[in-house]
Structure 1
Amino acid sequence: MTNKLILNNVDKVFGDGDSSVKVLNKVSLEVKAGEFVAVVGPSGSGKSTFLSIAGALLSPTNGRIIIDGKDISKLSEKKMNRIRLEKIGFVFQSSNLIPYLTVHDQLLLIPKLARNFNKKAKQRAVDLLERLDLGHRSNSYPQSLSGGERQRVAIARAWMNDPEIILADEPTASLDSERGRSVVKMLADEVKLREKSAIMVTHDKRMLDLCDRTVFIEDGKLSELT
């Protein structure tokens, strides 16, 4: 299988001189097509920075980031934005839904931004909402949804452009145990079925058996657990 995502000797330093802080230290990870990787570690270990760099939200201080065969480490912000729209789906700890858009329109915004809005995109939105038991909420606004429903909308939105890579930051934080496991299993199944790659940062050890392997991050350094 090909590697959809490669981080090679990545450092991330914030600040300059004596006030600088090294948040990531020689981090390397390869995620294959069809692979679902969990990242665990204590608070302040560098998990969020790691995920932001993997998702082209931040540039590394040193090292290389390769997404779907393309080195993005030194791309312009405009090109990085295109990579995010076309290649990566994000699920954040907070759902980050737009308050004035309905559930259905939250999903349709993604293909509109990527300039590939068409009938197929409309049908994909319908299918994703049905799959996540949100079809009856299609015309609802975020303020009328429960925390769990908002997070499921965010997960559906992440899949809208059929991205090569899914990056999830505590995706079950707003969900009860049963619904959380259902959502993570859906992510895992979709990754396998469509040969995508996924990384999930999580504190919920009950979800780890649904992942192919687990890596541990502490003090900005990554190590393999299983």
Structure 2
Amino acid sequence: MKDKLILENVNKIYGEGETAVTALQKVSLNVKEGEFVAVVGPSGSGKSTFLSIAGALLSPSSGRILINQKDITNLSSREMSAVRVKNLGFIFQASNLVPYLKVLDQLLLVSKLAGKGGKEAEQKAKALLEQVGLLQRMNYYPEKLSGGERQRVAIARAFMNDPGVILADEPTASLDSKRGRAVVELIASEVKQRGKAAVMVTHDERVLDLCDRIVTIKDGMLYEEQENHTFEAKKLDTVAFK
């Protein structure tokens, strides 16, 4: 299996001299296709900085980042933006849907940002919505959806441009335990079925068994990897999301 995401001896330091703060220290992580990794740790441990660097939103002070086997470490801001659109799918804790766009248009916007569109994009968007059980909601605005439904839209949107890497930031934070688990089950299933690499930053210990590995971050350092291998991709019952 190919490595989809590689962080190699990544350091991130804010400030200089005596006021310098080390947010990440010698962080290394490889995530292969079909692998779902959880990153856990206390507040202030470096999780947000880690996810921002993995998501090409922030450049490291030193070290290397490879996405889909391409070194993105020294790219310009414009080039980094292109990497995000083409290679990364983001799922945020608040779903981050555009309030004035209908469900179908949330997905089509991703294609437009990548310079794509037309009937092919619409067919793909509808297929993804059907897969997450929301095709019948494609003309709804976000305010008419439940929390679980909004997260399902966010998951479908994350897969719209067929990215190699999925990054999820506390995707269960605004959901109850049942809906939260259903959301993570859907992410895990999509990762397995589509051969993606996924990293989820989470405080929710109730969903860790759905991940292949659990990596702890503390004081900017990554350690204690554990293997789970407990989740098998399967067709999910979307009733659990309602």
TM category, shorter: over 0.9
Q: Would you say 1:171 and 2:144 are equivalent positions?
A: no
Note if contact 1:151-1:174 (Cα within 8 Å) is conserved in structure 2: no
| Worse overlay, 212-221 or 144-153 | 144-153
Q: Deviations over 1:31-56 (max 9, x none)?
A: 01111101110111111110110010
Q: CA deviation at 1:172?
A: 1.4
The correspondence of residues 1-226 of structure 1 with structure 2, limited to 5 A, is 1-226=1-226
Note if contact 1:171-1:202 (Cα within 8 Å) is conserved in structure 2: yes
For 1:156 and 1:19, locate their aligned partners in 2 and report how far apart those are by CA, in whole Å. 43
* Unpaired stretches in structure 1, ≥5 consecutive residues: none
**Amino acid in the other structure paired with 2:151:** Q
For 2:133 and 2:34, locate their aligned partners in 1 and report how far apart those are by CA, in whole Å. 24
Root mean square deviation of aligned Cα: 1.3
Q: Deviations over 1:50-101 (max 9, x none)?
A: 0110010100011000111111000011111111000000011122111211
Q: CA deviation at 1:114?
A: 0.2
Note if contact 1:90-1:168 (Cα within 8 Å) is conserved in structure 2: yes
**Amino acid in the other structure paired with 2:202:** T
| TM-score normalised by the chain length of structure 2 | 0.89
For 1:115 and 1:209, locate their aligned partners in 2 and report how far apart those are by CA, in whole Å. 38
For 1:172 and 1:131, locate their aligned partners in 2 and report how far apart those are by CA, in whole Å. 20
For 1:105 and 1:15, locate their aligned partners in 2 and report how far apart those are by CA, in whole Å. 41
- SS at structure 1 position matched to 2:104: helix
**Amino acid in the other structure paired with 2:186:** M
For 2:122 and 2:173, locate their aligned partners in 1 and report how far apart those are by CA, in whole Å. 28
For 1:193 and 1:154, locate their aligned partners in 2 and report how far apart those are by CA, in whole Å. 18
**Amino acid in the other structure paired with 1:167:** L
For 2:173 and 2:124, locate their aligned partners in 1 and report how far apart those are by CA, in whole Å. 25
Note if contact 1:107-1:160 (Cα within 8 Å) is conserved in structure 2: yes
- SS at structure 2 position matched to 1:45: coil
Identity in percent: 65
| Worse overlay, 142-151 or 92-101 | 142-151
- SS at structure 2 position matched to 1:149: helix
For 1:154 and 1:186, locate their aligned partners in 2 and report how far apart those are by CA, in whole Å. 11
Note if contact 2:89-2:159 (Cα within 8 Å) is conserved in structure 1: yes
For 1:93 and 1:17, locate their aligned partners in 2 and report how far apart those are by CA, in whole Å. 35
| TM-score normalised by the chain length of structure 1 | 0.95
Note if contact 2:208-2:214 (Cα within 8 Å) is conserved in structure 1: yes
* Unpaired stretches in structure 2, ≥5 consecutive residues: 227-242
Matched residue pairs, number?
226
- SS at structure 2 position matched to 1:225: strand
Note if contact 2:148-2:183 (Cα within 8 Å) is conserved in structure 1: no
